[in-house]
Chain A
Amino acid sequence: AQTVTQSQPEMSVQEAETVTLSCTYDTSENNYYLFWYKQPPSRQMILVIRQEAYKQQNATENRFSVNFQKAAKSFSLKISDSQLGDTAMYFCASMNRDDKIIFGKGTRLHILP
């Protein structure tokens, strides 16, 4: 079964600090895709970053980067130089060959001024 687990329901960090959000997943497939989505208070879902499982290099998008550990089935998101606008719910998600995209329960991140 395809599952995604986010073990941190809520986190708070000071502005400009670095924060890491954890995500583990379970899949029986060798090739799949992983995503982090952000949901600010506006409720709009925004793609933050994506990773293809067969690519060993960790994906980066400006201040956002991932630590992809395929053997451990871990896909954490690092936010550097955090900003007030990063305050949001963050969801980890996985997609297998059957095209189903399954989300974790989310981590609510507060960036404190």
Chain B
Amino acid sequence: NAGVTQTPKFQVLKTGQSMTLQCAQDMNHEYMSWYRQDPGMGLRLIHYSVGAGITDQGEVPNGYNVSRSTTEDFPLRLLSAAPSQTSVYFCASSYGRRGDSPLHFGNGTRLTVT
């Protein structure tokens, strides 16, 4: 099994550009989420989804959009990139609704906005 696959691994954007970070999982997980990791800030939840067609905001949703049209995919869209969005982004999934189901993380995307 591939687990959680994030693409790309690295990306450099200019201020104002848009892009989509891709996330796919092949474990039939209901729950998917996006985090950003910044030095000294830990992992902060951006958006999450408890199933296809359902999304909700996390701690730091501004500047990001998500959609969940299928169980497998949960893309994260940056509409107009800003330097403050320079970060490492992690996608994670789990069976959800069950605390004994741990989060499976992707390998992360390092995004730099200049």
Q: A interface vs B, CB < 8 Å?
A: 6, 9, 32-33, 35, 37, 43-45, 47, 50, 52, 91, 95, 99-106
Contact = CB atoms under 8 A, between A and B. Distances in A.
A102 B100 contact: no
Interface residues of B, number: 26
A94 B58 CA distance: 14
Interface of B: 31, 33, 35, 40-45, 48, 50, 56, 58-59, 88, 90, 92, 96-97, 99-100, 102-103, 105, 107-108
Contacts, number: 52
Nearest to B57: A100
A100 B96 CA distance: 10
Given A43-B108, A91-B42, A106-B42, A99 B103 contact: no
Nearest to B108: A43
Nearest to B59: A102
Contacts of A37: 103
Given A6-B42, A99-B97, A100-B56, 17 more contacts: A33-B99, A35-B102, A45-B90, A50-B99, A99-B31, A99-B48, A99-B50, A101-B33, A101-B45, A101-B92, A102-B59, A103-B35, A103-B43, A104-B42, A105-B40, A105-B42, A106-B42
